Amino acid sequence: MDFFEIKPDIFLNIMTENQTLANLSAGILQNMEKILSKVSPDILIVQGDTTTAFLTALAAYYKKIKICHIEAGLRTYNKFNPFPEEINRQLTSRIADFNFAPTEKSKKNLITEGIDSATIFLTGNTIVDALNWGIEKIKSRQTEIEGKEIFKKVSGSGNERVILVTMHRRESFGEELKNVCIALKKLAEENKSIKIIYPVHLNPNVKKPVYSLLSGLYNIILLEPLCYEDFLWLMYKSYMIITDSGGVQEEAPSLKKPVLVIRKFTERPESVKAGISKLIGTGTGTIIKEVTLLLNNEDEYKKMIAVSNPYGDGRAAEKIINIIANEYKCSIIIK
């Protein structure tokens, strides 16, 4: 929020360590009911597929408040991959009055599901807007960012190829996470010229096995979760990215970084189809094979460099604002 200069008016403060989805859902719904009653908005805008997005939309639906869903129509059609996000976004689509689809594929998904086409608008994804704005900001502050204490342990001789890793999805807890860690360890041991940077999620189901399996290797750097600015800097500096994040799959093309997606399904097939990301699962052998290919084969690496970003042109927010303003025959003032 500091990076984007956002000052929230309301803070729910409902997060607790290792909480269940049921407890989280109840807290969001009950708190948002009170807030919506007090604020009484004409429109509620939610973005993405989180439990917060869905439950906030549901609270608005109960009060017959218009709902705008940004990033609508992403699908895997496997209700447990990603979990619980796949069902969150499907349910949000059923109650949204405006569905802002990031891609043509997302738009087609909504139409196929019987969502009124009059409520669907192709806008691109606001994540590309945010990324473009963010990259310009960090370029102007690059020396300051690189001087941060956290990156002194990241920087080395300057010749290492940096592999950035993130993994946090609930459906990967347990054996799949362990398999990925084993692959990373073997890659680090067999490739002394790489440096693996892994900002580790605080969930104990992630943090405990990752630190247990990957601590102590000089070319694997385990970090606390990073702010957006620092994470952008790492993406910008990386050679390739290994991730189960949906957002990173959309950010990486703008940064010209190949992405290996450690999931069985992705709701963002556009980059896979374009050949700029690859869905490789969580098998130890497959991860080692695919990373080694990109490290050793320059032609294969270059094939995965994006020419353009399939998820938007950086003007999604502008399009969304204009659609809402046109619908309500009003002007929107941005403060």
Q: Per the residue annotation, which of 69, 71, 129, 176 is the catalytic one?
A: 71
42 annotated active-site = no
In angstroms, what CA-CA distances link 328 with 42, 69, 332?
A: 10, 17, 10
69 annotated active-site = no
The answer to whether the Cα torsion of 184, 189, 190, 192 is positive or negative is positive
Task: Give the orientation angle of helix 51-62 with respect to helix 21-39, to 10 degrees.
Answer: 40
170 annotated active-site = yes
What is the token pair recorded at 306? 């994006």
What CA–CA distance (Å, rounded) separates 309 from 199? 25
Q: Per the residue annotation, which of 97, 160, 161, 170 is the catalytic one?
A: 170
Q: Per the residue annotation, which of 85, 176, 230, 244 is the catalytic one?
A: 85
The answer to whether 212 and 205 have CB atoms below 8 angstroms apart is: no
- Kindly give, in sequence order, each residue whose CB lies less than 8 Å from that of residue 93, ignoring residues fewer than 6 positions away: 69, 72, 73, 99, 110, 113, 115
85 annotated active-site = yes
244 annotated active-site = no
136 annotated active-site = no
**Can you name the residues that pair with 241 across neighbouring β-strands?**
164, 259
What CA–CA distance (Å, rounded) separates 120 from 142? 39
Q: Per the residue annotation, which of 33, 160, 161, 201 is the catalytic one?
A: 201
Instruction: Give the start-end residues of each E strand in 58-193.
Output: 66-70, 98-101, 120-122, 161-166
Q: Per the residue annotation, which of 75, 168, 169, 268 is the catalytic one?
A: 168
Q: Which residues have a catalytic role annotated?
A: 49, 71, 85, 168, 170, 201
